[in-house]
């Protein structure tokens, strides 16, 4: 394992069986045995190739995936640290990357290989399958991402994007931050027109509907645990304010009736 | 004509050969001879069944469609009024409805039948055809919309929505107003991430791209000639401000690290 390659059928320890853990578990179990640990899940078989188990047992796998809220990442990392086998590969799937990267590098033993990931899909967008969707990989420690990327590309059919936690969080602050902000604004504005609408507004309503039921932990991480989120939010608001002010001034101007000839 | 039915192949006078006039002209010319008038278009044949002509000649048709900017509607209505035949049917296609409805009812002779329309599509959304798209009809004067609606539904394949100018403008202030406002905000925010993005944000980028190249006249009408637009804009900004303020306060709160077990 120290050469970065994956053994033919390594056991995977999956921590967290929330919306995202449940989404990816069957895709993993189709290729490797999966041991799931979630405090809410009693030990026992879940489906062929997948069983719920205790924390120590799931942490003893050569590959460990943390599908837990970012706000729980530190507690989980501390809890599994003593049980990880030598050269285990640990990956998170959080919606932000700078903070989990810091936590995992700080809390996990030095022999552990660490890769931060952000699958850019969820139960809504991947309800017809995960193939064709995107995943961000940030290799952090003792990781050559080749074998992981090859598995994600060839076996799961994902589009793999290699980058750094900071570059990820900058772009995600725009992509996810603005989508969630807009969804919250439209939700507070009340019922949106459905019949008297345009193709473009239909897309906006569809986009906001996709994130409206995201877990509160995901929305919280996107708004508060991405260090670039606040600046994007304040810039959006400042620009919206300038546009509204300029529009109000134009409203007050005389009607721009034009001649026809 | 006074019974509201359409003759088998009435001549149509089309005023305005901008982006929208050019989009619908071939769909009309496939069924009726079309005489186009636009100050920028020299008289002469345009395609089979369609010729550019002078104002008087186009206004002499039994059906006249005004595909001109809302800000020019009054000048055009005054110019064509003396040339319209008895019981002519005049329809506009503006993005707002209260203001054109007032102008047409005020400026056109009493014998003229008037129907205000808003096709909820444009060159972007209908680049693969207009069938399946929506059109709003507001019958205003001496119009039973049955024959017009039947032509739009059966012959052009459009989804017809019957309503009033005020109900239209209320919904359009949300649908079109918010789409255009968002497109302007995102455009000022600069380049958006394309790789590190989500399916939902991809939809938002696609929506704003669809309206980004709309004619300035269309954007102006949506922002300033819909009497409900200002209230929607100010409400959007007030809610965005409240959310940003609450998020800033949460950012300042201690990190919500949670236990795992």
Q: Which tokens go with A90?
A: 């640990």
C-beta atoms of A133 and B199 within 8 A: yes
ipTM of this complex: 0.90
How much is the pLDDT for A187? 96
Nearest-angstrom CA–CA distance, A125 and A212: 12
Provide the 10 A C-beta neighbour count for residue B47: 10
- Taking the CA of residue B8 and the nearest CA in chain A, the distance in Å comes to 30
Give which of B100, B162, B198 to mutate to test A binding, by max A Cβ within 10 Å.
Answer: B198
Distance between CA atoms of residues B204 and B199, nearest Å: 9
% of chain A at pLDDT higher than 70: 94
- Asked if B198 and A125 come within 8 Å (Cβ–Cβ), the reply is yes
C-alpha distances in Å from residue B138, one per residue of A232, B111, B114, B118, B151: 42, 18, 9, 9, 15
d(CA B119, CA B104): 18
What is the average per-residue pLDDT within B100-122?
97
Q: How far apart are CA B111 and CA B92, in angstroms?
A: 17
Residue B251: predicted pLDDT: 87
CB atoms inside a 10 Å sphere around CB A154: 9
Q: What chain A residue is nearest to B16 in terms of C-alpha separation? A: A260
Task: Provide the CB-side half-sphere exposure for A259 (13 A, CA).
Answer: 1
A123-153 pLDDT, tens digit per residue, is 989 999 999 999 999 999 988 888 899 999 9
Domain boundaries, chain B: 12-163, 168-250
Is residue A41 over pLDDT 90?
A: yes
**Residue B9 predicted with pLDDT over 70:** yes
Closest CA to A66 of A14, A132, A127, A24: A14
- Tens-digit pLDDT profile for residues A188-215: 999 999 999 999 999 999 999 999 988 8
Lowest mean pLDDT among A36-45, A82-91, B140-149, B226-235: B140-149
Strand partners, B120: none
Tokens linked to B208: 């704003």
Please indicate whether, in this complex, the C-beta atoms of A171 and B133 are within 8 angstroms of each other.
no
Taking residues B25-43, report their average pLDDT.
Answer: 96
Confidence of residue A4 (pLDDT cuts 50, 70, 90): very low
Q: Does B129 touch chain A (CB under 8 A)?
A: no
Cα A194 to Cα B23: distance, rounded to the nearest angstrom: 24
Mean pLDDT of the region B178-207: 96
Q: Which of residues 8-47 of A touch B (CB under 8 A)?
A: 39
Model pLDDT, residue A3: 41
The predicted structure's pLDDT at residue A5: 43
pLDDT tier at B252, thresholds 50, 70, 90: confident
In whole angstroms, give the CA distance from residue A110 to residue A87: 9
Q: How confident is the model at residue B259 (pLDDT cuts 50, 70, 90)?
A: low
Within a 10 A sphere around the Cβ of A146, how many other Cβ atoms? Answer: 12
- State the pLDDT at residue B257: 57
pLDDT given for residue B86 in this prediction: 97
pLDDT score, position B5: 43
Q: How far is B243 from A224, CA to CA, in rounded Å?
A: 13
pLDDT > 90? residue A175 = yes
Output the six-digit token pair for A224: 């508060």
User: Is A260's CB within 8 Å of B79's CB?
Assistant: yes
Residues in A closer than 8 angstroms to B136, CB to CB, are 196
Q: Where residue A8 falls among pLDDT bands split at 50, 70, 90?
A: low
Q: What is the largest CA-CA distance in chain A?
A: 83
Q: Would the pLDDT of A7 be above 70? A: no
Q: How far is CA A30 from each of CA A12, A64, A121, B64, rounded to the nearest angstrom?
A: 12, 16, 19, 64
Answer yes or no: do B188 and A236 touch at CB < 8 A: no
Q: Who wins on pLDDT, B42 or B254?
A: B42
pLDDT of residue B115: 97
Neighbours of B249 (CB within 10 A): 9
Residue A223 has pLDDT above 60, yes or no: yes
B179 interface with A at CB cutoff 8 Å? yes
* Rounded mean pLDDT, B123-139: 94
Task: Please give the average per-residue pLDDT across B50-76, as a whole number.
Answer: 97
> What's residue A226's pLDDT?
97
> What gap in Å lies between CA A68 and CA A93, rounded to an integer?
8
Is the pLDDT reported for residue B83 higher than 70? Answer: yes
Instruction: Please state which CATH number belongs to domain B12-163.
Output: 3.40.50.720
Rounded to an integer, what distance in angstroms lies between the CA atom of residue B165 and that of residue B105? 12
Question: Chains A, B: CB contacts under 8 A, how many?
Answer: 230
pLDDT band at residue B142, thresholds of 50, 70 and 90?
Answer: confident
The band of B258, judged by pLDDT with boundaries at 50, 70 and 90, is low
What pLDDT does B261 receive? 43
Which among B151, B36, B18, B9 has a CA at the least distance from the CA of B72?
B18
SS (H, E, C) chain B: CCCCCCCCCCCEEEECCCHHHHHHHHHHHCCCCEEEECCCCCCEEEECCEEECCHHHHHCCCEEEECCCHHHHHHHHHHHHHHCCCCCEEEECCCCCHHHHHHHHHHCCCCCEEEEEEECCCCCCCCCCCCCCEEEEEEEECCCCHHHHHHHHHHCCCEEEECCHHHHHHHHHHHHHHHHHHHHHHHHHCCCCCCCCCHHHHHHHHHHHHHHCCCHHHHHHHHHCCCCHHHHHHHHHHHHHHHHHHHHHHHHCCCCCCCCC
Region B107-124: what's the mean pLDDT? 96
Query: Is pLDDT at A258 greater than 60 in this prediction?
Result: no
């Amino acid at each position: 394992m120290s050469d970065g390659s994956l053994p033919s059928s390594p056991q995977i320890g999956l921590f967290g069986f929330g919306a995202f853990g449940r989404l990816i578990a069957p895709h993993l179990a189709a290729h490797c045995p999966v041991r799931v640990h979630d405090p809410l899940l009693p030990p026992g078989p879940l489906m062929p190739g997948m069983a719920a188990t205790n924390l120590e047992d799931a942490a003893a796998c050569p590959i460990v995936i943390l599908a837990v809220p970012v706000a729980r990442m530190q507690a989980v990392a501390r809890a599994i640290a003593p049980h990880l086998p030598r050269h285990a590969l640990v990956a998170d799937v959080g919606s932000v990357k700078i903070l989990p990267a810091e936590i995992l590098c700080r809390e996990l033993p030095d022999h552990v290989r660490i890769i931060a990931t952000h699958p850019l899909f969820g139960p809504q967008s991947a309800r017809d399958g995960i193939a064709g969707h995107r995943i961000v990989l940030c290799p952090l420690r003792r990781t050559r991402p080749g074998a992981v990327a090859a598995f994600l590309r060839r076996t799961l059919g994902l589009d793999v994007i290699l980058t750094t936690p900071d570059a990820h969080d900058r772009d995600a602050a725009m992509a996810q931050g603005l989508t969630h902000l807009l969804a919250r604004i439209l939700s507070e504005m009340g019922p949106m027109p459905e019949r008297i609408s345009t193709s473009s507004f239909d897309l906006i309503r569809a986009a906001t509907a996709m994130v409206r039921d995201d877990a509160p932990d995901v929305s919280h991480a996107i708004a508060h645990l991405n260090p670039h989120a606040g600046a994007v939010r304040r810039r959006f608001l400042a620009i919206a304010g300038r546009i509204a002010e300029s529009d109000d001034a134009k409203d007050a101007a005389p009607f721009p009736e034009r001649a026809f000839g």
